[in-house]
Structures are given as structure tokens and as C-alpha cells.
Amino acid sequence: MKKIVVLSGAGISAESGISTFRDAGGLWDKYPVEQVATPEGYLANPELVIRFYNERRKQLPTVQPNGGHLGVAKLEEQYDVTVVTQNVDNLHERAGSNRVIHLHGELTKMCSSRNPNDPRYIVELSPEAYETHVDDLAGDGSPLRPFIVWFGEAVPMIETAIDYVSQADILIIIGTSLNVYPAAGLLHYAPANARIFLIDPKPVDAHTNRPIHVIQKGATEGMQELLQLLGV
């Protein structure tokens, strides 16, 4: 079975109504990144950071996977599919994708503020417990913090993502500006003979001379076209 790796970004979830961070009117316009997405911001004002992610989490039950997510999941009917996402929502999983690598963490999880990537202290929140509090503690006694890779922190899953991309027969890039590293660099690990597709309604600079089949459409329409091209 041929291997597909899907690299997805905020654009795929935007169609479901989840705010992107970088576009005009996005979340960064409302909350300075330094306050809510850096270790320093968390140390300076943990209450604000906890409240910010509580708000993001409470939005999850109000949104649904869109045709882009569902199209990605449908690829599994004929391919061995790995989704590498820059998104922290759970829409790929809810659409039915079975192997999802979250490069930037997961909104539905909390972790130790002392050792964020220690699996012993990573907690999956149930929807009825999406609101967390600043005095909630991890199993190691440190305050629970969002399981999010903040600016300035290492991306622990990048090596795993590289392993999958380097074995891909097909790489599909959907809804990402390819401006955020290290995720944007994953394209360069695709084998020389891999087919590459890029779905985005806006022009994207892929920073490569490799041939890329561009589908200049949104996630839902773009995935519909790609499924037809691949005969799924």
C-alpha cells in the first residue's frame, strides 16, 4: 500500500470556523503572542494563559470537521496515511484519521509545567472538563499547563514527522503558509520521486524548485479535486 503524508495547517480548520492565528482578524490580533504562546508569558501571567486555552477548548464542541478533514480521512480507504498537523485541534481525529502527529501539541491535553513532554504527566481532558484552573496540579506536583509547543520551545515530534515524510510516495500540503519552521522544512525530506500536491486558495511559496501540483482552492474543494485525481 502506497504511503501518503498530509501536512496540514490552520487553513484546513478555518473552514470549520476555528480562527487562524496569522490572518488579519486572527487570534494574534487579539492576544499578543508573547502573552499567550511563550513560556515567559505563562510565567508572567498563568491566569491569562489558562483562560486563553480554556476559551480555545470550549470552541471545539461547537465546530465540526469539514470536507477537507473528511477527504483526508477518506484517503485511508486506499493508502497508508499519516497526518502531520500544525494544528492543535482534534478535527482530524474526529473526521476519522487514525494516525495523526501533532507538531505543536494538543488543545485537549494538559501536561506538567516542569517536564511538558513526560508522558506520565500528560492528561487528556474530557469535554465536560475542558475548563482548567491555574491551581490544577500535574502528577509531579507542578502546575498543569497546556500541552502546547510554545514559541521558543523545541518541537519534540519533528523527528517522527521527518521519518514518515522521508518514506512518503505522495506528500499533500494543505492549508499551511509554509512559513513556520521546522514544519515548513518537512517538504525537503520527501523522496525525490514523491509526488507533491499543494492545496491552498492563496499563492504559497514552497521554497523549492521541485515540481508541485498546485490546487488553488480551499480545503474542502481542493480535497474533492485531489480525491478524483488519485482515484479515491
Cα–Cα distance measured from residue 19 to residue 166, given in angstroms and rounded to the nearest whole number:
31
Q: Give CA–CA dist 107/89, Å, rounded.
A: 6
The grid coordinates of residue 115 equal 517536564
One-letter identity of residue 193: N
Q: Are 215 and 39 in contact (CB under 8 A)?
A: no
End-to-end CA distance of the chain: 13
DSSP secondary structure, 60-95, as one string = GGG----HHHHHHHHGGGTSEEEEEES--SSHHHHH
Q: Which of 69, 92, 102, 104 is catalytic?
A: 104
Helices 219-230, 67-74: inter-axial angle, 10-degree rounding: 20
HSE of 11 in the Cβ direction (CA atoms, 13 Å)? 24
Is residue 160 within 8 Å of residue 102, measured between CB atoms? no
Q: Is 104 a catalytic residue?
A: yes
Active site residues: 104
